[in-house]
Amino acid sequence: MELLRTIAHPPGGGGAKCCEAAAGRAAGGESRRKKAEELPHQQQHQHGHPAAEVSRIITDPTTGKRYCRGKVLGKGGFAKCYEMTDLTTNKVYAAKIIPHSRVAKPHQREKAQIELHRMLNHRHVVQFYHYFEDRENIYILLEYCSRRSMAHILKARKVLTEPEVRYYLRQIVSGLKYLHEQEILHRDLKLGNFFINENMELKLGDFGLAARLEPLEHRRRTICGTPNYLSPEVLNKQGHGCESDIWALGCVMYTMLLGRPPFETTNLKETYRCIREARYSLPSSLLAPAKHLIASMLSKNPEDRPSLDEIIRHEFFLQGFTPDRLSASCCHTIPDFHLSSPAKNFFKKAAAALFGGKKDKARYFDTQNRLAKEDEEIYKLRHDLKKTSITQQAPKHRRDEEVQPLITTVVKPGVLPETKQMGDSIRMIVRGTLGSCSSSSECLEDSTMGSVADTVARVLRGCLENMPEADINPKEQLTASFQWVTKWVDYSNKYGFGYQLSDHTVGVLFNNGAHMSLLPDKKTVHYYAELGQCSVFSAAEAPEQFISQVTILKYFSHYMEENLMDGGDLPSLTDVRRPRLYLLQWLKSDKALMMLFNDGTFQVNFYHDHTKVIICNQSDEYLLTYINEDRISTTFRLTTLLVSGCSLELKHRMEYALNMLLQRCN
């Protein structure tokens, strides 16, 4: 018998975790959830009371180290967890103390689960430090998490905001991905097993039910875990897999946002019926990306659930604001993100760059606070249709009741809803343009910029109208040296649109129509007021009139580097003979983002599955690169597609991209 499993399931014992013998005795409704998630602090909270009071000074008989036992952090049916201080170093631990009388098969205490946990080392996994035993007890020293668990936070807060959920889920996914890479299944993911340290960092803990990942045919069929978080395949005794942890993660996300598990009912039998049928409700109060992600994780068929990488690339994370850190006050109070759309430090520093004195900065934040209260979705990166030019400031932000969430249905990866005929209206949400005309439409149609767009549109239309029908893409595999957008962020509600190219050049098309690039050396700045008009200067010695924009450019660069992941596997190949790339125009519709560059490079990113279409010209030949939902890229000559055709998956995206290009001024 493995020690931690024995700790979790003592002879004749039960508790919040469920195994076949105890499942039928579990309480229902709110009381069951409290047992499952509101048990005391940390991994540290197992089920039991030591038979006798533990000495205040405890000595490790092997090393001679002495520890001072402090306050109780948690207790259960057969063990207690204490704050415990090393008297030599003053380091504080969370010490789980288990009496020998509560442990079955003591000759196996040092095996299995203790060995499993002690080998783990990750920022988002509770650290195992040491264990020892004396005549009365076993002592397990763990990382001390002073902010208690997510169960305690949710008990105080009732529900969490979307930015908080993204903050915590990113860390859970990071820790869980590490476990799965070590071929370890947690098997008991729930709020009570996510612990928060002094710095508001989340740690996965409680490995009492953790197990090695086994091949499907050798998986254990035992029903174990917490009732509200069990997956259909576990209830059907098909065994635990990585997909079972993903299911539990979906339950966790649902609970964070709504304050209750998705399958909670008044009795356990009905709960299990709902789980087996994957039957639950998604309230209208949830935004579409959150609904879509929850629905994908709670797919009845394990094979339909997303991987951890797919989860973190979902629109819920990529299009929404995620704070870099949370204040400790978030443990009991709703955070105020209104001053930080989308990143508190970003906007504080940007405001400091734009406004000189403290009074101006205070007035700026007061204004933003007032506007934020008028718009409950200020940290959502969706805005009304807006046109900008160099001589015309962007119009004041206004709400458009017809703007719908980007995703309204659950869409299978790799499948784009059927595209309307070319020329049909595409609903644009926001745009930005480089130029010096009084009208963006005028500028695009009558200038060199318009000719760049028209050339790309003519080539793409000619290919689509003349290529034959096909079921698959050509087998052509090319290696091309071109730049493409690997990361982007839309802060046009304040400053503009930022992006990072594959050579690590960072560009910002500001709301006033000016463009600024920070080259890969992070020292050189290129400034474009109009197409083809470039000023070059050092970032450290920027002209006075550009200091504010250079400062903001640096913040964009830092934010994307620290918070966003690359969008594909294309190698970064730079042809130094080609001109520097800079953005002429970007547009966001309800389904995709379009970007058009000075050399005719044209890129469209689709939100729902993160596929991308990139068209560029090399040596007077047009190439099309398609990056699929797995971030795998393939490059074709357009002439090859013209002769051989392509899959419907790619064709639909090409058609939609052309529609965006044709209607860029509508």
Q: Burial level of 351, CB count in 10 A (0-12/13-18/19+)?
A: middle
pLDDT, position 147: 92
Annotated binding site: 105
- Check whether residue 204 and residue 242 sit in a common domain: yes
More confident of the two residues 419 and 93: 93
With 90 as the cut, is the pLDDT of residue 435 above it? no
Kind and range of the H or E element at 162?
A: helix 162-181
Q: Which of 143, 175, 193 is the last residue of a domain?
A: 143
- Check whether residue 254 and residue 375 sit in a common domain: no
Q: pLDDT digit string (tens) for 340-378?
A: 334 445 444 544 544 444 444 454 345 444 433 433 333
Distance of CA 264 to the CA centre of its chain: 26
Compute the CA torsion angle 342, 344, 346, 347 (nearest 10 deg): 80
Q: pLDDT digit string (tens) for 231-268?
A: 899 888 888 889 999 999 999 999 999 999 999 988 88
**Number of CB atoms found within 10 A of residue 579's CB:** 10
Question: In this prediction, what percent of the chain has a pLDDT beyond 90?
Answer: 41
Report yes or no on 330 lying in a domain: no
- Check whether residue 223 and residue 255 sit in a common domain: yes
Q: Which stretches does DSSP call E strand in 76-219?
A: 80-86, 92-99, 128-133, 137-143, 184-185, 194-196, 202-204, 211-212
Q: What is the mean pLDDT of residues 290-319?
A: 92
pLDDT, position 43: 42
pLDDT, position 228: 83
Domain of 296, CATH number, reads 1.10.510.10
Tokens describing residue 102: 């509560």
DSSP assigned state of 469: P
Q: Confidence class of residue 141 from pLDDT cuts 50, 70 and 90?
A: very high
Q: What is the mean pLDDT of residues 274-296?
A: 92
Report yes or no on 399 lying in a domain: no
The amino acid at 214? E
Q: pLDDT digit string (tens) for 486-526?
A: 999 988 888 899 999 998 999 999 988 899 999 999 999 99
Instruction: Please answer whether residues 546 and 537 qualify as being in contact, where contact means their C-beta atoms are separated by less than 8 angstroms.
Output: yes
With 90 as the cut, is the pLDDT of residue 21 above it? no
By mean pLDDT, which of 46-60, 172-186, 251-265, 393-407 is the weakest?
393-407
By mean pLDDT, which of 40-44, 476-480, 553-557 is the weakest?
40-44
With 70 as the cut, is the pLDDT of residue 13 above it? no
Q: Which of 117, 143, 169 is the last residue of a domain?
A: 143
Q: At what angle do helices 242-258 and 288-297 cross, to 10 degrees?
A: 150
Kind and range of the H or E element at 597?
A: strand 592-597
Domain of 630, CATH number, reads 3.30.1120.30
- Check whether residue 96 and residue 198 sit in a common domain: no
Report yes or no on 421 lying in a domain: no
Query: From CA 243, how far away is CA 251, in angstroms rounded?
Result: 13
Instruction: Please answer whether residues 477 and 542 qualify as being in contact, where contact means their C-beta atoms are separated by less than 8 angstroms.
Output: no
Paired sense of beta strands 128-133 and 592-597, if any? unpaired
Query: From CA 595, how far away is CA 508, in angstroms rounded?
Result: 12
Q: For the chain, how far is it from start to end, CA to CA, in angstroms? A: 70
Annotated binding site for ATP: 105
With 80 as the cut, is the pLDDT of residue 385 above it? no
Examine residue 571 and say whether the peptide bond preceding it is cis (omega within 30 degrees of 0): no
More confident of the two residues 15 and 664: 664
Q: What is the mean pLDDT of residues 200-221?
A: 78
- Check whether residue 137 and residue 192 sit in a common domain: no
pLDDT, position 430: 59
More confident of the two residues 469 and 80: 469
Task: Go through 406-440 and write b for each residue having 16 or more CB atoms within 10 A of its CB, e for each that does not.
Answer: bbeeeeeeeebeebeeeeeebebbbbbbbbebeeb
Q: Which stretches does DSSP call E strand in 178-282?
A: 184-185, 194-196, 202-204, 211-212
Report yes or no on 404 lying in a domain: no
Query: From CA 82, how far away is CA 114, in angstroms rounded?
Result: 18
- Check whether residue 78 and residue 93 sit in a common domain: yes
pLDDT, position 425: 52
Report yes or no on 545 lying in a domain: yes
Question: In this prediction, what percent of the chain has a pLDDT beyond 70?
Answer: 69
Paired sense of beta strands 621-627 and 612-618, if any? antiparallel
Q: What is the mean pLDDT of residues 66-80?
A: 81
- Check whether residue 217 and residue 355 sit in a common domain: no
Beta bridge partners of 141: 95, 130
Beta bridge partners of 489: 498
Q: Burial level of 285, CB count in 10 A (0-12/13-18/19+)?
A: exposed
More confident of the two residues 141 and 30: 141
Range with top average pLDDT, 68-77, 209-218, 310-319: 310-319
pLDDT, position 224: 62
With 50 as the cut, is the pLDDT of residue 652 above it? yes
By mean pLDDT, which of 475-484, 494-503, 580-589 is the weakest?
475-484
With 70 as the cut, is the pLDDT of residue 107 above it? no
Report yes or no on 405 lying in a domain: no
pLDDT, position 335: 87
Q: Confidence class of residue 417 from pLDDT cuts 50, 70 and 90?
A: very low
Paired sense of beta strands 184-185 and 137-143, if any? unpaired
Instruction: Please answer whether residues 518 and 506 qualify as being in contact, where contact means their C-beta atoms are separated by less than 8 angstroms.
Output: yes
* SS3 at position 235: helix
Q: Confidence class of residue 2 from pLDDT cuts 50, 70 and 90?
A: very low
- Check whether residue 343 and residue 309 sit in a common domain: no
By mean pLDDT, which of 170-179, 201-210, 378-387, 636-645 is the weakest?
378-387
With 50 as the cut, is the pLDDT of residue 7 above it? no
- Check whether residue 130 and residue 161 sit in a common domain: no
- Check whether residue 360 and residue 492 sit in a common domain: no
User: Nearest-CA neighbor of 604 among 618, 588, 582, 590?
Assistant: 588
Q: What is the mean pLDDT of residues 164-174?
A: 95
pLDDT, position 368: 40
- Check whether residue 161 and residue 135 sit in a common domain: no
pLDDT, position 336: 77
pLDDT, position 214: 72
CA distances from 185 to 23, 29, 219, 368, 605 (A): 21, 27, 11, 45, 34
Q: What is the mean pLDDT of residues 5-24?
A: 40
User: Nearest-CA neighbor of 642 among 460, 418, 457?
Assistant: 460
Report yes or no on 426 lying in a domain: no
More confident of the two residues 219 and 608: 608
Residue 361 sits in which domain range? Answer: 336-380
pLDDT, position 344: 45
Report yes or no on 394 lying in a domain: no
Range with top average pLDDT, 198-202, 339-343, 449-453, 617-621: 198-202
Active site residues: 188
pLDDT, position 376: 34
Query: From CA 136, how far away is CA 122, in angstroms rounded?
Result: 32
pLDDT mean across residues, the chain:
76
Q: Which of 120, 143, 166 is the last residue of a domain?
A: 143
pLDDT, position 568: 58
Domain count, the chain: 4
pLDDT, position 216: 62
- Check whether residue 457 and residue 586 sit in a common domain: yes
Query: From CA 452, how far away is CA 481, in angstroms rounded?
Result: 20
With 80 as the cut, is the pLDDT of residue 410 above it? no
